[in-house]
Amino acid sequence: MCGIIGYVGNKSAVPIILDGLKRLEYRGYDSAGIAVMNEQGFGVVKQKGRLASLEQLVNQQPIAGTIGIGHTRWATHGEPSDINSHPHLGSQNKIAIVHNGIIENYLQIKERLEQKGINFVSQTDSEVVAQLAEHYYDGGIVDTVVRTVNALEGSYALGIMCLDEPEKLIAVKKDNPLIIGVSDYGCFIASDVPAILPHTNKVYYLNDREIAVLTRSKVEFFNMDGEPIEKELEVVNWTLDSAEKGGYEHFMLKEIMEQPKILQDTIHSAIHGDNARIVESLDITKYNKIVITACGSAYNAGMVAKYVFERLCRVSVEVELASEFRYKDPIIDKNTLVILVSQSGETADTIAAMREAKRRGAVTLSIINVVGSTIAKETDYTIYTMAGPEIAVATTKAFSAQLVLLYILAIAFARKLGRISPEVEAKLLAEISAIPEKAAEILERVDMIQKYAATCIGCKSIFFIGRNIDYAISMEGSLKLKEISYIHSEAYAGGELKHGTISLIEDNTMVVAVSCCERLYEKIYSNVEQVISRGAKVLMIGSCIKASPHGKLQIIEIPRINELFSPSLSVIVLQLFAYYVAANKGLDIDKPRNLAKSVTVE
């Protein structure tokens, strides 16, 4: 979704803002722009299209200043166009803003302001913020911001500059992320940490409806009554390297390759570190129901977890799409534990599901990658995936870290519920501790996967099948493939084929079959034979495959592991398969069309 960056300091703002925008590109965008403030007023350059052309335009029409705001726009209201790009200015050119979010009552505000003779130039909801702030401005920017945001309904992260207060950069947020960074040479606002990592790792996390006033050397915070408040400066442990490609062609490949280390860090934290302490403090015996809710890949992690929790804890687990959860009148109460899974911690649907769960009295536990994010802050308990910044839109390392946290959670719950003995617990944890090494073994076989993927680029459709937990992870394999390769794909439970899907199988239809559940091997293999006899070519991925490869059947073996934890290994092959299919098609893998890394609107 939209990205915001802003800077005030003693350096030239434009290169800092352009660099920050590049680091926000992964959020997804269709247009971009910059505004700087100087003695002459605002210098604004903005246009539809990629950042490379914005950079060219800035070179042709240089703008200068040491205070400025930048924006990457992912259109919601008004088509992607030069005029709808941010920053937006009030009609007297006194206030400039960048906005991420949706102003739901913008039409009413716009109508009111138009009746007062104010002319709007764009079709966006965001322009009302600039016009309204300018209309309200009476010499005090904090009061103006309070008045303005009090009139807004919806969600916003805003960067604001006012010509009459040329030293100040203002930030305010509600239901959209915005952080504040401080360095020796100035202060920053940004939608997320990677955008400012070259300058600082010292950040303030802004809460909803808090206002920050940044000047060259300090940041002051205010509440909605305009009163000063204190906030704690935090040090982020992400490094600049972790947010750069480091020689890889794409972030996605780099992030896939980082998985052994990330798995190790996450497992360590969940068995011996901070996460372990949080898991221990949660008394699972108090709850009679577990609901996992999330979106996209995080939902798929929940689907995998359902099998693990139910098998180990013998407690029924419901997995709900967060986008559906709040509209289904969920049957939850204070005896329900609702687990929210989210890489970003800012997904609008997952935030809404969390708030619905809390409203109904449920206890909430989140599994989050981004420290300081909304979900992390608002849930009763939070455990963190130790994945570092994930830049590629297609999640890989964060997904893998979510899986291992969910396994360890299930084991801890099973022990607390008296379902497993300490010996079994130790054995299961030992198997989990072996995952990073086994993941590294798979990563040594990249060439084989790459070669196979090259034969699939012409496919119109690819089906993924599996049974039981293999079916759950097939869903992730299918999502990964379609989001980056643009090849149609579906995941089916192997046994469901004969109930309809098999009619789609014809000569050379590609089917990927995951087979790590040894006890179900014969079953999935018979599904494989059924599709091969109808002309399909099949790639089997698994640790218990007894068949030999032949013309229509190729096999990728993965190391043996308890079937409950096998998704952590099969998913690496599925990720690499999707990556190489897309790479062979020459696609923009890190920023697939129409997608955004963090979906902050409903």
Contact status: 395 vs ligand AGP (CB under 6 A): yes
Cα–Cα dist 5/196, whole Å: 8
Contact status: 347 vs ligand AGP (CB under 6 A): yes
E runs forming strands in 421-506? 461-466, 488-493
Binding piece for ligand AGP, criterion CB under 6 A, among 177-185, 388-396, 490-498, 512-520: 388-396
Contact status: 575 vs ligand AGP (CB under 6 A): no
Indicate which residue of 168, 254, 537, 597 is catalytic. 597
Alpha-carbon separation of residue 434 from 268, 519, 574 (angstroms): 12, 22, 20
Closest CA to 113 of 129, 124, 99: 129
Contact status: 599 vs ligand AGP (CB under 6 A): yes
Indicate which residue of 2, 162, 187, 517 is catalytic. 2
Contact track, ligand AGP, 470-489, x by CB under 6 A: -------------x------
Contact status: 600 vs ligand AGP (CB under 6 A): no
Q: Residue 85 gets which letter from DSSP?
A: S
Nearer to ligand AGP, 34 or 295 (CB): 295
Contact status: 84 vs ligand AGP (CB under 6 A): no
- Residue 87 preceded by cis peptide, ω within 30: yes
Contact status: 581 vs ligand AGP (CB under 6 A): no
Name the CA radius of gyration of the chain, rounded.
Answer: 25
Binding piece for ligand AGP, criterion CB under 6 A, among 291-299, 304-312, 403-411, 565-573: 291-299
CA angle 357-173-275, nearest 5°?
A: 50
CA angle 79-83-86, nearest 5°?
A: 90
Q: How far is the CB of 343 from ligand AGP (least distance, A)?
A: 3
Contact status: 378 vs ligand AGP (CB under 6 A): no
What lies within 8 Å, CB to CB, of 271 at 6+ separation is 408, 429, 432, 433
Cα–Cα dist 262/195, whole Å: 21
- Choice from 296, 302, 330, 388 touching ligand AGP (CB under 6 A): 296
Q: Are 543 and 561 in contact (CB under 8 A)?
A: yes
Nearer to ligand AGP, 265 or 483 (CB): 483
Helix 259-271 to helix 274-281 angle (10° resolution) is 50
CB atoms within 10 A of CB 226: 13
Nearer to ligand AGP, 37 or 601 (CB): 601
CB atoms within 10 A of CB 264: 18
The H-assigned helical ranges of 138-246 are: 141-150
Q: How far is the CB of 396 from ligand AGP (least distance, A)?
A: 8
Contact status: 343 vs ligand AGP (CB under 6 A): yes
Nearer to ligand AGP, 134 or 390 (CB): 390
Contact status: 266 vs ligand AGP (CB under 6 A): no
Stretch 509-568 residues interacting with ligand AGP (CB under 6 A): none
Q: Which residue reads 């009295």 in tokens?
A: 361
Contact status: 85 vs ligand AGP (CB under 6 A): no
- Choice from 264, 323, 344, 509 touching ligand AGP (CB under 6 A): 344
Nearer to ligand AGP, 305 or 540 (CB): 305
Alpha-carbon separation of residue 183 from 69, 122, 273 (angstroms): 17, 35, 30
Helix, strand and coil content of the chain, in percent to the nearest 5, comes to 40, 25, 35
- Choice from 393, 401, 411, 481 touching ligand AGP (CB under 6 A): 393
Closest CA to 21 of 188, 169, 168, 145: 188
Nearer to ligand AGP, 296 or 494 (CB): 296
E runs forming strands in 242-308? 289-294
The count of C-alpha atoms lying within 13 angstroms of the C-alpha of 333, restricted to the half-sphere facing its C-beta, is: 2
Contact status: 468 vs ligand AGP (CB under 6 A): no
Tell me the residue nearest to ligand AGP as measured from the CB. 296
Cα–Cα dist 152/170, whole Å: 17
Contact status: 364 vs ligand AGP (CB under 6 A): no
Contact status: 298 vs ligand AGP (CB under 6 A): yes
Q: Are 430 and 480 in contact (CB under 8 A)?
A: no
Contact status: 72 vs ligand AGP (CB under 6 A): no
Stretch 149-188 residues interacting with ligand AGP (CB under 6 A): none
What's the CA dihedral at 13, 127, 74, 391 to 10 degrees?
40
Q: Is 517 exposed, middle or buried (0-12, 13-18, 19+ CB in 10 A)?
A: buried
Q: Are 288 and 335 in contact (CB under 8 A)?
A: yes
Contact status: 252 vs ligand AGP (CB under 6 A): no
Nearer to ligand AGP, 341 or 531 (CB): 341
Count of residues interacting with ligand AGP (CB under 6 A): 15
Q: How far is the CB of 254 from ligand AGP (least distance, A)?
A: 15
Catalytic annotation present for 358 = no
Binding piece for ligand AGP, criterion CB under 6 A, among 84-92, 103-111, 222-230, 342-350: 342-350
- Choice from 124, 342, 474, 489 touching ligand AGP (CB under 6 A): 342
Catalytic annotation present for 517 = no
Cα–Cα dist 89/298, whole Å: 38
Q: How far is the CB of 421 from ligand AGP (least distance, A)?
A: 34
Q: How far is the CB of 389 from ligand AGP (least distance, A)?
A: 12
The residues assigned a catalytic role are 2, 597
**Residues at the site binding ligand AGP, with contacts judged by CB under 6 A:** 295-298, 342-344, 347, 350, 393-395, 483, 598-599
